[in-house]
Amino acid sequence: MSSLKFTIIQTALHWEDKGANLDALSKKILGIDEPTEIIVLPEMFTTGFSMNPTLFAETMDGPTIDWMRRLAAVKKSIITGSLMMEEEGKYYNRLIWMLPNGELGYYNKRHLFAFAGEDQHYHGGQKRLIASVKGWKINLQICYDLRFPVWARQQRDEDKESEYDVLLYVANWPEKRNHAWKTLLTARAIENQCYTIGVNRVGLDGNNIMHSGDSMVVGPLGEILYHCAYEEDIFHITLQKEDLIKTRAQFPFGKDADDFKILDPS
């Protein structure tokens, strides 16, 4: 059975200052002194949760993609996190999944946070992205997606086999709703019988909103494997596929799950 090592970077972000954020994150990433397979950054790691994509959005051949490609090659690790992207005149909150060989995938945030006006500045995605690494399947999502369980729900095949093994959220989730964040991460792990990872930022943003971090790794039975609040942290965790398979075999709840399909809203 395979293992998979994640490195979680819970960090403060400089408001709408791409240069300062990339410089700080470069030092953190290059300072990782042990092998790792996936390095996870928060949502909108170049700017914070800004509603100014006309000023700060990049394209897929822009400098931050080059930065991710270069560091992924140096560290021989996948690097993932979201940032503002522009494509054909539309703006997206886009998670990038950068491989060490320079190839990439991406996921556009489906659920836009209307409470903060995100839906007025960005377009929502229509497709999920489930990445494959060493026989593991990883469902990649962003922040507010966490509140919508159907979007994360395991869509099982005819044999009722699980669609994915890890559910990963990158976020700028405010401190005042951190109870919901921690509760929903745990719920998603339990209901989908998977590992769930949430990587959040810390500190004040440009709107004077505090973020407590509360980055977490949750096991398939809801057990908390990692939790850190209020301080910057770089944490390494190795997940074991064997433990996941044993849990699913011991508690085969997935075989009783409802069959459903998510229809393309477009």
CATH of the domain at 115: 3.60.110.10
Provide the pLDDT confidence category of residue 259 given band limits of 50, 70 and 90.
confident
Per DSSP, the three-state class of 259 is coil
Provide the pLDDT confidence category of residue 28 given band limits of 50, 70 and 90.
very high
Alpha carbon separation from 229 to 11, 85, 176, 216 (Å, rounded)? 11, 29, 13, 9
pTM for the model stands at: 0.96
Of 109, 118, 182, 194, the active-site residue reads: 109
18: in domain: yes
Measure CA 56 to chain center. 21
The pLDDT score that the predictor gives to residue 96 is: 98
Among the listed residues 86, 90, 82, the one whose alpha carbon sits nearest the alpha carbon of residue 46: 82
Decide: residue 226, CB within 10 A, 0-12 exposed, 13-18 middle, 19+ buried: middle
Give the helix/strand (H/E) hosting 30.
helix 18-30
The pLDDT score that the predictor gives to residue 265 is: 60
Q: Domain containing 77: what range?
A: 3-255
Q: Domain tally for the chain?
A: 1
The pLDDT score that the predictor gives to residue 255 is: 86
Of 143, 175, 182, 228, the active-site residue reads: 143
Alpha carbon separation from 202 to 68, 86, 126, 228 (Å, rounded)? 21, 26, 29, 10
37 is catalytic: no
262: in domain: no
265: in domain: no
Among the listed residues 21, 25, 16, 9, the one whose alpha carbon sits nearest the alpha carbon of residue 49: 16
162: in domain: yes
223 is catalytic: no
137 is catalytic: no
**For range 232-244, the mean pLDDT:** 97
pLDDT, tens only, 149-186: 999 999 877 776 899 999 999 999 999 999 999 999 99
